Amino acid sequence: MLAWFKRYRLTILALFLLLLLPLAVIFIKGFFTVQAFDIGRPMQAAVIFDREGMFIGSLGETGRYVPLDAIPQDLLDAVVAVEDSRFYKHAGVDIIGIARALFANLRACETVQGGSTITQQVAKNLFLHPRRTLKRKFEELALAVLLEARFSKEQILELYLNSSYFGEGAYGVESAARTYFGKSVSNLSLGESTLLAGLLQAPSAYSPYKHPERALNRRRVVLDRMVALGYLEQEQAEQADSTTLILAELTGGPARYFLDWVSQILIEKFGETAVFSEGLRVHTSLDLEMQEIAETVFGSQEHQGALVALDPRDGTVLALIGGRNYRESQFNRAVDAKRQPGSVFKPIIYAAAIKQGWQVNSIVEDIPREYSGYEPENYEEAYWGPVTMKHAIALSLNNAAVWTLNEIGISSAFNFARDVGIELAPQDRNLALALGGLTEGVSPMQMTAAFVPFANGGAYFTPSPILRVINRDGDVLFDFEPDKNQVLSPQQAYLMTDTLQAVMEYGTGKSVPIDRPSAGKSGTTNNHRDLWFAGFTPDLVVGVFIGNDDNSPIAGYGGSIAGPIWAELINQSLADKPPRPFPLPSLIVDDVQIDIFTGLLANDQCEYTELDAFIKGTEPTRQAPCAITFTPQPKVGIPIPELPPAQEQPPIEEPEPEPEPEPEPEEPKPEPEPEPKPKPKEPKQEPEPEPEPELEPEPEPEVPREPKPPETPLPPLEPEPREPVPSPEPIEPGQRQQPPPPA
C-alpha cells in the first residue's frame, strides 16, 4: 500500500488540488464580494406597475436600517436563542451544530433541524440566489467564514436583523415592528420581541394575521428556549406568554392579494434581499381598472370567496380577488384555497371525450345506473334517458357525466386534467371524478385557467402575473414568455365552446345576466358549501368561487350566487367593447338542427331540438324519426265513379251456352272470377309509404360501445311524458323548441 501511495503520490496530489480549485475560486470571488459590501446601505423595495405602466404599490414597507443599540436586548437574545444558540462561539460555520442537526434529522427520518448559523443566513440573504444547490451551499460556507473575518459578531447580528424577511412584506426588523405592531422596534415589549423572533424560521407559516394560534405557539417555543439558555427567568417567560396579542391593522390599498402573490413569486425567483432592498421595477399583467371593478363587485359579497380573470390570448392575470376583505383576512383563496369544484368540473370530462373524437351530438345515457356500488343521482331524480352530449352539459345531468367518464376511461380524464394544470390525487381514480368529487380539490386559479383552452382555440397557458423585472441599473432580469400547451385542436375547442354556450342559452346559466355572447358552467357541491361559475367571452376568461372558510352552507346555487358576480365583472370590464361572436375556425359547420334524443337531423316537426356545431364531415346525414313526414300517396289514374250505396256491381253474366253434350265430369270451367267488387273506395287512408328502404334511424352518432349493463335490467324510459327538472336553475323554452321547463 505504501509503495502504491509513493508511486502515485503526485497523481493523488494533483487530484486533491483539482478538487480544491473550485473552492479556491469560490473563496476568491467571495472575498471581493464581502470587501465591496457596506453596512447600512440604503434599502429600496420593489415597485410594482400594472400592464399599462400604472403604479400599483411597493412590496411592503421599506424600513430604515437600525443600529444594534436601537434594538431591544430581549429581541437580540430571543433571536440568538432560537436561531443560533452557539452564535458567539463559532467562526461562521458551526460543525457541532451541523452534526447535531444531521443526527436529529436522521433519527426523525425528515428535516427537523437546520445547521445554518446566523452568519450563513446573512451570507444567503445578502449575496446568494435562493435556489438550493450544492454550489450555493459551498458559496454560503465560504462567505460565512469571510464575513466573520471582516465584521464583528455585533455587526453580523445587526446585519441579520436588518436583512431578514419577517413576512407580510416586512423586510428588516424596523419594518416588521411597524407592520405587526404599529411602533418602532425600540418600543417593543418582551412578548412582541419573541413573537417577531419566532417569525424568522417561516414567516408565512407563523403569520399572526393568518395563523394566530401557530404564532402564539411559536412564541412559546422561543420563550422556553430563552429560559433554557438563561436569558429569562421562568416567571418572566410565563408573564410574556400570557400577554394578549394586539396587532396593528393591516393597510388596505388596491390589489393587495395580487401583490402578495407577486411578492411570493419574486422571492422564489430572486430572493428576499433583491425583492425588498435592491429597487426592482416589476411590470405585471394586472389591469388596474378591471381590478378596481372586481374589488367593487366582490366587496359587497356576504360570503368569502375568490375571483380570477385571465387573458385568453396568453393566460396572464388581469384581475385577482383572494377574499372579500384583505384587512379581515389575508389568506389568498384565489391561489391557495383548495375546494371541491362540483359540476364546474364536468367540462373537463366532456373535453376529454371530444379529444377522443366524440361530437356534441354523441348520445350519452342519462339513466340511473349502479357502477360497482356507486349510484349517482340527478337533481330531484329527474332523468332524460339517452340524449345528446350538448344537452347533458347544458342541463348538468349527473348520470350522463358519470356514464361518459365510464365510457372514455378515467385515465383519459386524468390526462386531460393534467394537461390543463389540474394535478389529481391517485385517490381520485373513481367515477365520482365526473361530478367534481376530488380528494384535495382545486384552487379558483386552477379551475379558471382550465377554461382558457376552450376560449382561445385549444391552448393552455400556465397563469402568470409578471411580465418583466428590471433592476435599479436597468438590466432586464426576467421577460415573460407564455408557457403554452396545445391541448385541443381549434375545431375541438370550438365544439366545447358550442356546448357551453347552450348552458347560457337554456341551461343552468340561463338566468345569469350577461349581455354578450358567452359560454360557461356553474357548479354547486353537496350541502351548498362551494358555489362556482366559470366561463368566458372571446376577450376574457373569468372564474368566481363563493364558499365560507368554515364550510358552512350558503343559500343558493353557483348560477344564482357566483353567476351574477361573474356577469357583472364582464359587463363592466368590456363595456367599451362591442359584443362579438366566438370566431368560427375552419372546417366547422355551424347551426345544424339536431333532435336531442337521437342526435340526428331535425326540423320544426321535432319537439326538442338544439343547434349544433360539427367538424366538417362528421355531421349526420339522416333524419331523426320525428323529422320524417308521412304524406298520403296522390290519387293517380282514371277516377272510379262512386256507385249507389245499395247496389253492388253485378257479376258478369255469360251468354247462354248452346246445348251441348253433357260435359264430362270434369270441373266446369269456372266463370271468370268477377273482379272483386270494388268496395266503395274508402277515402284512401294515408297509405303507409313504402319503406324507402327502411329509414332506420342512423346509428346514433358517435355512440361508444354499450356500457356494462346495470345489475338489474331497467325498463326503457319514454322521454315524452317526463318533464324533468334540470340541475339546478330552471330551464324555459327559447324561441325554437327546447327541452321542457322543470316541474
Q: Which of 52-61, 92-101, 107-116, 229-238 has the lowest mean pLDDT?
A: 107-116
- Rounded mean pLDDT of the chain? 82
| Res. 715 pLDDT band, cuts 50 70 90 | very low
Does residue 152 lie within any of the structural domains?
yes
Strands 609-615, 466-470: pairing kind = unpaired
| Res. 40 pLDDT band, cuts 50 70 90 | low
CA distance 488 to 662: 96
Per the residue annotation, which of 58, 61, 83, 518 is the catalytic one? 83
426: DSSP letter:
G
**Short-list 509, 529, 527, CA closest to 518:** 509
Contact 317, 548 (CB under 8 A): no
Contact 345, 435 (CB under 8 A): yes
Confidence at residue 28, expressed as pLDDT on a 0 to 100 scale: 72
Does residue 127 lie within any of the structural domains?
yes
Does residue 259 lie within any of the structural domains?
no
What is 85-135 written as a DSSP string? TTTTTSSS--HHHHHHHHHHHHHHTS-------HHHHHHHHHH--S---HH
Question: Where is pLDDT greater, at 658 or 580?
Answer: 580
Mean per-residue pLDDT for 180-196?
94
Q: Which residues contact 277 (CB under 8 A, 6 or more apart)?
A: 43, 44, 45, 62, 163, 171
Does residue 465 lie within any of the structural domains?
no
Strand segments, DSSP code E, in 264-396 are: 281-284, 305-310, 317-321, 363-366, 385-388
**What are 387-437's pLDDT values in tens digits?**
999 999 999 999 999 999 999 999 999 999 999 999 999 999 999 999 999
Contact 612, 605 (CB under 8 A): no
Question: Where is pLDDT greater, at 257 or 164?
Answer: 257
Longest dimension (CA), the chain: 158
| Res. 734 pLDDT band, cuts 50 70 90 | very low
**What are 624-674's pLDDT values in tens digits?**
999 997 655 555 554 555 545 444 444 444 444 444 444 444 444 444 433
Boundaries of domain holding 122: 62-242
Q: Is 343 a catalytic residue?
A: yes
**What are 84-128's pLDDT values in tens digits?**
998 998 888 888 777 776 766 677 666 555 668 888 888 887 777
Confidence at residue 418, expressed as pLDDT on a 0 to 100 scale: 97
**What are 489-539's pLDDT values in tens digits?**
999 999 999 999 999 999 999 999 999 999 999 999 988 999 999 999 999
Does residue 205 lie within any of the structural domains?
yes
CATH of the domain at 84: 1.10.3810.10
Does residue 509 lie within any of the structural domains?
no
Mean per-residue pLDDT for 173-190?
92
pTM over 0.85: no
**What are 295-339's pLDDT values in tens digits?**
999 988 889 999 999 999 999 999 999 999 888 888 999 999 999
- Number of independent structural domains in the chain: 1
Question: Where is pLDDT greater, at 142 or 670?
Answer: 142
Question: Where is pLDDT greater, at 291 or 13?
Answer: 291
Confidence at residue 129, expressed as pLDDT on a 0 to 100 scale: 64
| Res. 62 pLDDT band, cuts 50 70 90 | low
**Residue 77 pLDDT more than 70?**
yes
| Res. 348 pLDDT band, cuts 50 70 90 | very high
Which three-class secondary structure string do you get for 129-165?
A: CCCCCHHHHHHHHHHHHHHHHHCCHHHHHHHHHHHCE
Does residue 559 lie within any of the structural domains?
no
Q: Is 154 a catalytic residue?
A: no
Strands 541-546, 305-310: pairing kind = antiparallel
Does residue 30 lie within any of the structural domains?
no
Q: Which residues contact 299 (CB under 8 A, 6 or more apart)?
A: 324, 325
**What are 605-618's pLDDT values in tens digits?**
999 999 999 999 99
Mean per-residue pLDDT for 180-189?
93
**What are 373-397's pLDDT values in tens digits?**
999 998 888 899 999 999 999 999 9
Per the residue annotation, which of 116, 175, 343, 573 is the catalytic one? 343
**Omega prior to 728 cis, within 30 of 0:** yes
Q: Which residues contact 88 (CB under 8 A, 6 or more apart)?
A: 80, 153
Q: Which of 10-14, 230-234, 632-636, 645-649 has the lowest mean pLDDT?
A: 645-649
